[in-house]
Amino acid sequence: MSASSHDPSEYRSRDAIPIRRALVSVSNKTGLLELAAALAAAGVEIVSTGSTAKTIADAGHPVTEVSSVTGFPESLDGRVKTLHPAIHAGILADLRLESHEQQLAELGVAGFELVVVNLYPFVETVASGAEGDAVVEQIDIGGPAMVRAAAKNHANVAIAVSPASYPQIMKALTLGGTTLAQRQRLAGEAFAHTAAYDTAVATWFAANVGVRAEHEAEHATSGPLEDSPFPSTLRLESEREATLRYGENSHQAAALYVVPGSSGIAQARQLHGKEMSYNNYVDADAALRAAYDFDTPAVAIIKHANPCGIATADDIAGAHALAHACDPVSAFGGVIASNRPITAAAAESIAPIFTEVVVAPGFEPAALEILTAKKNLRLLELPGDYRREPVEMKQISGGLLVQEPDAHFAPFASWTLAAGEPADEATARDLEFAWRACRAVKSNGILLALGGASVGVGMGQVNRVDSCKLAVSRAGDRAAGSVAASDAFFPFADGPQILFDAGVRAIVQPGGSVRDEEVVEAARAAGVTMYFTGERHFFH
């Protein structure tokens, strides 16, 4: 009779199943000794492999080596350990069926009621920067086979793939065994675990091996190899970290998922304050991106994903003061990001202002003392290896858009002087600052800057004229003598004319409009310096 043709009446009901024999093989030893001690105290026979068996034995607990069960030594540098019928028959036997119970007896194989396995650290190895064979050796074979076998046979076997599951296993030992509901939940977690693992392997393989092989085959007879930075198949896997209070609005459910191996705002450690909201995460990520566009000490203040102010200075306290001065009204209830640790002086600058979130790579002890006095202020400390993702994704109906991040800024030396006199050193510095800071402004974006700080921002308008008006309005008297950056070219001279009339002394823009000459002539007539960068920074 095939596995799929058993009559339902043949299956005997099994709910609570006592644990008498466990297979334990883990690369992550967290919680292992506590679990082993509980299993040993309950009289459970522990079958284990390699370093796991040694760790258990060294702690004084009885353990049976897998090789003594299989009658076959671990071989090929540990590549072959558990891939044996004596192991997999013990995991896969469905003891609700008398025929399976009889076959195990005939084969002399004992069943398992518990399998504890976590997989080789593939994701961590890739994140460490390893390449080639060093990564390939962390592709687990026997582990996923055992996990999937135990999860499939959850009617009889409990599978634990994470130390987070150990406490419920240890409790089950004292309550007479695992329940069917427990085993079903654990099986679901196990299948998700192996799916995530396989996704990570497939993604790495496609990016590092599969793409080039595919393109070499495609172009073998049709022309030269043209590598794409994107794999032909994109696999995404993430784990739910938290259920949020709600989404952008209170009637929307929301959750935070983290991508294994990543190191961004989702992995930040909250040191203080209320729980993070959906909008907090969106704004904090936008603020970080803006602050980390600069190599010098920088602060960005974001509200509704747009900058209220961005500034650089010799220190973070000075940068915050300058950023806040750009638009104090909008900064109320904003999110602050710094690309340097928050000092006591910076904390003194921040504390009097109502702020939702402060995110930084660190906080001085004195700064923490000052800021934690604000009961509801959320303080986030970035992971030590904080980095931006290599690709950005945006969901659209039916699919995803994927692109490289906008992290390139044409240096001043490469710009083309289109109108006016060459900028002096101070003006050139302000233009370069404005060009970087403008990247963080939602299109159509205009940013006015002076002294390494934004003084007026016009964002998110459906025409560039209105963005110019908004930037000048917010700058007020500070517009006179400032410089301006436009994230894309000016299609007409009407937008720049608003800036000229406000006293802007220099403008940087991509150029490339069919009416560039009209815009350039207007700049010449106004006596304003204008540079073309040849690149744009749309941000939608």
Report the CATH number that the domain containing residue 469 is assigned in CATH. Answer: 3.40.140.20
Q: How far apart are CA 115 and CA 355, in angstroms?
A: 49
Spatial neighbors of 119 by CB under 8 A, at least 6 apart, are 27, 140, 143, 144, 147, 161, 193, 194, 197
Residue 231 lies in a domain: no
| Rg value, the chain, Cα | 30
Find how far residue 149's CA is from the centre of its chain: 31
Residue 221 lies in a domain: no
Domain boundary among 182, 203, 224: 203
- The answer on 359 and 432 residing in a single domain is no
Residue 309 lies in a domain: yes
- The answer on 469 and 357 residing in a single domain is no
- The answer on 454 and 362 residing in a single domain is no
How many structural domains does the chain have?
Answer: 3
Per-residue pLDDT of the chain (540 residues), as tens digits, is: 455 566 565 545 567 888 898 889 888 888 999 999 999 999 998 988 888 888 999 999 988 887 777 766 666 666 666 667 778 788 888 877 778 778 777 778 888 889 999 887 777 777 777 777 787 877 777 788 889 888 988 888 899 998 889 999 999 988 888 888 898 899 988 888 888 877 777 777 766 765 444 444 444 444 444 456 777 777 777 888 999 999 999 999 999 999 877 889 999 999 999 999 999 999 999 999 999 999 999 999 999 999 999 999 999 999 999 999 999 999 999 999 999 999 999 999 999 999 999 999 999 999 999 999 999 999 999 999 898 888 899 999 999 999 989 999 999 999 999 999 999 999 999 999 999 999 999 999 999 999 999 999 999 999 999 999 999 999 999 999 999 999 999 999 999 999 999 999 999 999 999 999 999 999 999 999 999 999 999 998
Task: Give me the domain span that covers residue 287.
Answer: 262-381
- The answer on 451 and 310 residing in a single domain is no
Residue 539 lies in a domain: no
- The answer on 350 and 425 residing in a single domain is no
Tokens 């930037």 sit on residue: 471
Full-model pTM: 0.73
- The answer on 183 and 293 residing in a single domain is no
Angle between helix 166-174 and helix 32-41 axes, rounded to 10 deg: 10
Residue 219 lies in a domain: no
Residue 132 lies in a domain: yes
- The answer on 370 and 491 residing in a single domain is no
Residue 386 lies in a domain: no
Q: How far apart are CA 380 and CA 310, in angstroms?
A: 19
Q: How far apart are CA 439 and CA 429, in angstroms?
A: 16
- The answer on 33 and 178 residing in a single domain is yes
| Residue 253 backbone phi and psi in degrees, to 5 | -75, 150
- The answer on 371 and 272 residing in a single domain is yes
- The answer on 325 and 196 residing in a single domain is no
Burial class of residue 45 (count of CB atoms within 10 Å of its CB; 0-12, 13-18, 19+): middle
What are the C-alpha distances in Å from 394 to residues 246, 398, 404, 406, 540? 20, 11, 12, 14, 10
**Annotated active-site positions, please?**
152, 304
- The answer on 373 and 423 residing in a single domain is no
- For residues 349 and 320, is the Cβ–Cβ distance under 8 A? yes
Residue 107 lies in a domain: yes
- The answer on 131 and 17 residing in a single domain is yes
Task: Write the CATH number for 159.
Answer: 3.40.50.1380
